[in-house]
Amino acid sequence: MDLKVTNEQHITSAQANERYDTDKKARLAKASKGFESILTQMMLKSMSKTTDGGLFGDSEGLGGDMYDSMFESAIADKISEKKGLGIADLIFKKVTGEDLSEFEKLYAAIQYDKNAKLEKTNGIKESAPASDPIKIDKEALSNKKFSPSSDSLKRLETYSNYIDEAAQTFGIDKNIIKSVILTESAGNSKAVSKANAKGLMQLIDSTAADMGVRNSFDPKQNIMGGTKYLAQMLRQYNGDLKLSLAAYNAGPQNVEKHNGVPPFDETKNYIARVLGYFNYLNE
């Protein structure tokens, strides 16, 4: 059956390029393929009904029906990933005036170029240097000091250039960064916690990904990513170092839940140790 479209408006490639940027086209390409996959799955389901009991036995049984659906969905996705039925191509061409296959090649090249540039900067999506350093209310801090081991200080010295760069980039006192590193890992770039936090500043995988860190065991990436996250906490809590450290250790959701430093011994001891190292380094 032919479908007739009234009031049809023709969009030229130039007009489409003005209306749709690359990211919008990428989303349209994905949606077009998803739509084609659904139609393909419906066709496969219709075909499987012509067989006795479906593809995996009794179609009225839970097991057979479930496996049929899983198989049909997987096959439909695979068909759409390849040449497909041409439906996705027609939709994409109709909206943008471009060939879907040619756009996908172009988009893949763009993504490859972005990833290459990201590799050159060690994977860190650095923000512009802060115009003003984050101000810390030092009057509210404890005067208690903790002396780090000589070995941890030697290890820390190895990363002084990265720490200086992170401090300048994100507007944080370098001694705060050093104190966090001493507390988190004692300067061990290969450290892994029971919670699977990794590296010098003990980044969990989700935080590392959010900060643009591709390899948490790479000292520069870890320091830049950890400092970026700490800077976000400091700005969120208006320079309150205790609250920011509590958020870094226990998560901002716990700070909000308890309307202040959470009543966790681990978090309280963590804050005390970071501040103790900070006081020691500021002697």
What token pair was written down for 241? 């170092």
190, 144 Cβ separation under 8 angstroms: no
d(CA 140, CA 83): 65
Tokens of 86: 């041409």
What the block records as the tokens of 33 is 């393929």
Beta strands in 157-281, from DSSP E residues, in sequence order: none
Q: Which of 203, 213, 135 lies closest to 172, judged by CA? A: 135
Other Cβ atoms closer than 10 A to 172: 23
Asked if 227 and 166 touch (Cβ cutoff 8 Å), the reply is yes
**Residue 192 backbone dihedrals phi, psi, to 5 degrees:** -135, 130
Q: How far apart are CA 213 and CA 129, in angstroms?
A: 18
Q: For residue 184, indicate whether it is catalytic.
A: yes
CA angle in degrees (0–180, nearest 5) for 36-39-45: 140
Q: Do residues 137 and 195 touch, judged by C-beta distance below 8 A?
A: no
Give 192's strand partners: 198
How many other β-carbons are positioned within 10 Å of the β-carbon of residue 29?
A: 21
CA–CA separation, 206 vs 247, rounded Å? 15
The active-site residue, picked from 36, 72, 165, 184, is: 184
Dist. CA 62–CA 274, nearest whole Å: 57
Catalytic positions are 184
